[in-house]
Amino acid sequence: MTEYLAVDGGRIAYEVTGDGPLVVLAPGMGESRAAYRFVVPQLVAAGYRVAATDLRGTGESSVDWPSYSRTDIAGDLVALIRHLGGPAVLVGHSISGGAATIAAATAPESITAVVELAPFTRKQSIGLGDLRVKRHRQGMSRLLGAGMFGSVKQWLSYLDVAFPGQRPADWAEQLAQTEARLREPGRMKVLQKMGQSSPADAGAQLGNVRCPVLIVEGTLDPDWVDPCAEGEAIAAALPDGLGTVAMIDGAGHYPHTQFPDQLMALMLPFIAAAVRA
């Protein structure tokens, strides 16, 4: 059942399932909380209370927010965790990975641990040599088209590259739902604004994190030439001993949707250890 939390600037949609220690799931840009549809049941079965949320401007959350930075999203996530009685393990994908870093650094009492899935947590730079890698070139060109022109078609084309190989059984339905959401008034503008936001605010907070962080990357993620190197750079910027990098072979930018069982094999022991600590 969808619930709503009023925060400064609008309201955030979320739903809570299960009982136990709190785990909050935040999707990436262009997605809704349905991106975690294969993860939520496994977390609930493992004994957790799971809150899957839509980001500001996405899913069933309101539109027309003043801004869509990672710092903004972090504030929303902390507000939700406090509303639900926290603390929580915070799971963030892509832009929300960076937001989770900021939340952990600025509200340490509310965050037990962080899981970052294919996160944009550091300032990015693309060299001409990077474009020789076909999957990266294809992904970046389609992302650029979606961002520059507000093209839903280009975003769907990007997803075609971001889900290499194995796809969920409901792939066609997922694409149709994504397209329908992005064609709602104002939704594509939100994606554009999120895409234009810099992850520098998240990168600046990496050294201030005090909880354990699991960084999960897909080996075929088109958003980076070397996804493993990106994950390791994030871990290196965290205080010593807090960051762990795990790779899922064959996964693109959406490991939680593409390979949920492999992801849960990594996440469940990590979350259990963090909750026990």
* Token representation of residue 273: 């250890």
Which backbone phi and psi does 36 adopt, to 5 degrees? Answer: -100, 20
Within 8 A by CB and 6+ apart from 66, the residues are 9
The pTM of this model reads 0.95
Contact 271, 252 (CB under 8 A): no
Under-70 pLDDT residues of the chain: 126-131
Domain positions in the chain are: 3-276
pLDDT the model gives residue 135: 84
Q: Could you report the per-residue pLDDT of 93-119, keeping only the tens digit for each?
A: 999 999 999 999 999 999 999 999 999
CA angle 116, 121, 126 (to 5 degrees): 125
β-pair partners for 15: 52
pLDDT the model gives residue 43: 98
SS (H, E, C) 167-223: CCCCHHHHHHHHHHHHCCCCHHHHHHHHHHCCCHHHHCCHHHCCCCEEEEEECCCCC
One DSSP character per residue, 142-163 reads HHHHHHHH--HHHHHHHHHHHS
Name the DSSP letter for residue 5. E
β-pairing verdict for 10-17 and 3-7: antiparallel
**Architecture in CATH for domain 3-276:** 3-Layer(aba) Sandwich (3.40)
Quote the CA–CA distance of 157 and 28 in Å, as a whole number.
17
pLDDT the model gives residue 139: 84
Q: Could you report the per-residue pLDDT of 5-24, keeping only the tens digit for each?
A: 999 889 999 999 999 999 99
Contact 107, 76 (CB under 8 A): no
Give whole-number Cα distances, 162 to 7, 23, 158, 181, 257, in Å. Answer: 32, 26, 6, 19, 11
